[in-house]
Amino acid sequence: MPKLSERLSRAVEGRYEIMDELGRGGMSMVFQARDVRHDRTVAVKVLLPELAASVGAQRFLREIEIAAGLVHPHILPLYDSGEAEGLLYHVTPLIDGETLRDRLKRDRYLSIEEACRITAEVSDALDFAHSQGVIHRDIKPENILLTRRHAVITDFGIARAITLGGGERLTETGMAVGTPAYMSPEQARGEAVLDGRSDIYSLACVTYEMMAGEAPLAGRSPQITMARRQAESPTSLVLLRETVPEALDGVVLKALSRLPADRYPAAAQYGDAVQMAVGMASGAHPSVSTPGQVTPASVTTQTTAVGTAASQVVGRLPFWEELKRRKVYNVAVVYLAASIGIFSFLANMKEIYGEASWYSWLPILLLVGFPVSLFLAWTFEVSREGVRRTGTFEVAAERGRRWPLISRRALITVLGIGVAYAAFEIVRRLFF
């Protein structure tokens, strides 16, 4: 079977001269090409053949045509699209720059100011697209290009075409539409009707990653990530990076709310709130370059949003409060209760302790047992890697659903201690 580049070269012969491969992903490949008619260098993105067969040419071209009507400084324009020899492709300018993913691979963390500027520019582009009735559905660092210090969104219309054209068949084959690390909870659930607030959630994931070094609630697999999105709230940015202003932390966490109704209703409001939050931290309104203008009404909205978010942020917690929030106290109490039960039973065995009552051991047990129990809780429940990486206390990852008050790991440990003690008593009474 000929290579995809050879098939594409034959399919577009006379119109485009395919040159080098620029990159590939799970759904497409990108090639550098020369536009023969206009004598210019362009980028040609072609869907993988198996995906193209599921989507269908007519639906793909219709969605691309809709996306082609989006003319905005921070949206990559579309030159051409088509279908030939079973291949679906579209043509865009070749941007002199890199993707946000390339930048994050190199630097991992961006400055607070740059992360907010990129967020504001992408928000402005999304707000324009949403006003035209177009939802992106796959906002992620790979689809954000950085050129001359500005952000440009790519691949408008692609995710929607894939979703509408082959959603059920793709699900059957195990191919997900979208990227789990940036999917909104409603998109991960497979809801058919999405609105702009789903894109806002995805963009907030990107904002979070630019400042924290990783996407929020990231798991070891896509399934774990999507499950955590349905049940957990992201760790505060303030706890992961102390230079993040509390107001900005509140804005991002609001955009990451599990329910769409709790997020910002419009992408522009999220972008405005981000700018206002970083401006509040520096004492001046930030000079972020965006095409849109801020009206007095939007300023009032963003001020209210930031003020509400900031009032909900608790900031960095003291050591003991942090342990309480991370359930370490709960685990320690279980260990302590188990140890009290065991020691009280032993203390009432007259052949070992004579006439001494177990109550006389209780003060010593509490003084010694609780620190020991807290140490056991820390050992079993707190992630070493999380403490090393973030400087705060992260509960160790566990398989399955989290229990509300105590972890399954702690209960299994206590049960194991009880079984071992029962075995010891049986052996002691039978043979000694």
Residues noted as catalytic: 138
Q: Report the SS3 class of residue 7.
A: helix
Does residue 156 contact residue 67 with C-beta atoms inside 8 Å?
A: yes
Beta-strand pair 40-47/87-93: antiparallel
Sign of CA dihedral 42, 48, 52, 54: negative
Provide long-range contacts, Cβ within 8 A and 24+ apart, for 326-329: 326/381, 326/382, 326/393, 326/394, 326/395, 327/381, 327/395, 327/405, 327/406, 327/407, 328/374, 328/377, 328/378, 328/381, 328/382, 328/393, 329/374, 329/377
Distances (CA, A) of 417 to 339, 375, 406, 411, 423: 9, 16, 17, 10, 10
Distance of alpha carbon 138 from the chain centroid:
12
Q: Report the SS3 class of residue 172.
A: helix
Q: Per DSSP, what are the bridge partners of residue 81?
A: 90
Residues 6+ positions from 3 with CB-CB distance below 8 Å: none
Does residue 298 contact residue 363 with C-beta atoms inside 8 Å?
A: no
End-to-end CA distance of the chain: 77
- Rounded Cα–Cα distance for residues 334 and 338 (Å): 6
- Rounded Cα–Cα distance for residues 417 and 385 (Å): 27
Extended strands (E) in 132-281:
144-147, 150-153
Print burial letters for 42-76: b (CB count within 10 Å at least 16), e (below 16): bbbbbbbeebbebbbbebbbebbebbbebebbbbb
- Rounded Cα–Cα distance for residues 407 and 396 (Å): 10
